[in-house]
């Protein structure tokens, strides 16, 4: 995994913080990913980068077998509590321990951006999908509506690593899928998607998700938080509304 240097170990260490602030932000995105998948009864569904199991839980029902895969054991521990009925596998989504054509649908909510080789990851997801099967995924973006769009200057001032040019647009994402062998590729965007944080405590929790600030001194973390909050967009009620964006893609494996 890549994504600005964030690893599965980082996500494991900050899983509770992720569950607290990122899961609520991603629930609408996950619901849209599942809706676009047009799931059918009795299908086998694989949710790659399942995290705490949000999309996998939404896919349950109608006799479907749902598998959630993630490389972060701390995330999967929360998924076991939040998504009973989902089969969980600890593994890298670029090397999935399932047979060729063994699932009907692959779901991925904001996971693809953490692949070092995006086309390669999509090719691996294609491998495990049955002929005629589907993929439905999301990634943050485009780059004009992600946290670094408003926080980049502060990130630079504190020497933090962030994805300056790593967010795709819809044509690039479609090319990745086509290059991996997927067909009938369709994309959509929701530039209004945000990370809602109710107050300063929630903002500080968000700062811990997968970030190196966990190794900083308390004074440095507090100064960083204060500088970020000073430039963060806010809602009418004073809550923080961090831009995030969502690009959606659906495609089919050739029959």
Instruction: Residue 19: give its domain's CATH number.
Output: 3.40.50.150
Residue 5 host element (H or E): none
233 is a domain residue? no
d(CA 111, CA 44): 19
Higher pLDDT, 14 or 44: 44
Is residue 219 in some structural domain?
no
Report the percent of the chain where pLDDT is more than 70.
Answer: 94
For residue 74, give its domain range: 8-147+162-195+243-252
For residue 234, is pLDDT > 70?
yes
Asked whether 135 and 105 are in contact (CB, 8 A), the reply is yes
Residue 166 lies inside a defined structural domain of this protein: yes
Residue 226 lies in a domain: no
Express each pLDDT in 29-74 by its tens digit: 999 999 999 999 999 999 999 999 999 999 999 999 999 999 999 9
222 within a domain of the structure (yes/no):
no
- Is 70 exceeded by the pLDDT of residue 126? yes
Q: Is 100 helix (H, G, I), strand (E, B) or coil?
A: coil
pLDDT digits (tens, 9 = 90+) for 73-103: 999 999 999 999 999 999 999 999 999 999 9
Which region among 105-119, 135-149, 177-191, 199-213 has the lowest average model confidence (pLDDT)? Answer: 199-213
36 lies in some domain: yes
In-domain check, residue 78: yes
CA 53 vs CA 15, 23, 56, 68: distances in Å: 12, 9, 5, 7
* Residue 152 within any structural domain of the chain: no
What's the domain count of the chain? 1
- pTM of the predicted model, to two decimals? 0.92
Peptide bond into 173 cis (omega under 30): no
């Amino acid at each position: 995994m890549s994504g600005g240097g964030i690893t599965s170990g980082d996500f494991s260490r900050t899983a509770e913080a992720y569950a607290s602030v990122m899961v609520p932000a991603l629930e609408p995105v996950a619901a849209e990913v599942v809706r676009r998948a047009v799931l059918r009864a009795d299908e086998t569904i694989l949710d790659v980068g399942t995290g705490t199991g949000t999309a996998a839980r939404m896919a349950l029902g109608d006799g479907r077998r749902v598998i959630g895969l993630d490389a972060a054991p701390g995330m999967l521990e929360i998924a076991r509590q939040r998504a009973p009925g989902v089969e969980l596998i600890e593994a890298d989504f670029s090397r999935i321990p399932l047979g060729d054509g063994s699932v009907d649908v692959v779901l991925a909510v904001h996971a693809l951006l953490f692949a070092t080789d995006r086309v390669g990851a999509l090719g691996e997801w294609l491998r495990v999908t049955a002929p005629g099967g589907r993929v439905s995924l999301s990634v943050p973006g485009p780059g004009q509506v992600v946290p670094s769009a408003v926080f980049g200057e502060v990130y630079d001032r504190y020497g933090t690593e962030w994805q300056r040019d790593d967010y795709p647009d819809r044509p690039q994402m479609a090319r990745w899928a086509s290059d991996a062998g997927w067909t009938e590729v369709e994309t959509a965007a929701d530039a209004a998607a945000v990370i809602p944080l109710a107050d300063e405590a929630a903002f500080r929790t968000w700062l811990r998700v997968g970030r190196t600030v966990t190794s900083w001194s308390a004074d440095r973390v507090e100064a960083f938080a204060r500088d970020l909050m000073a430039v963060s967009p806010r809602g009418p009620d004073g809550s923080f509304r961090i831009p995030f964006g969502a690009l959606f893609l659906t495609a089919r494996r050739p029959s």
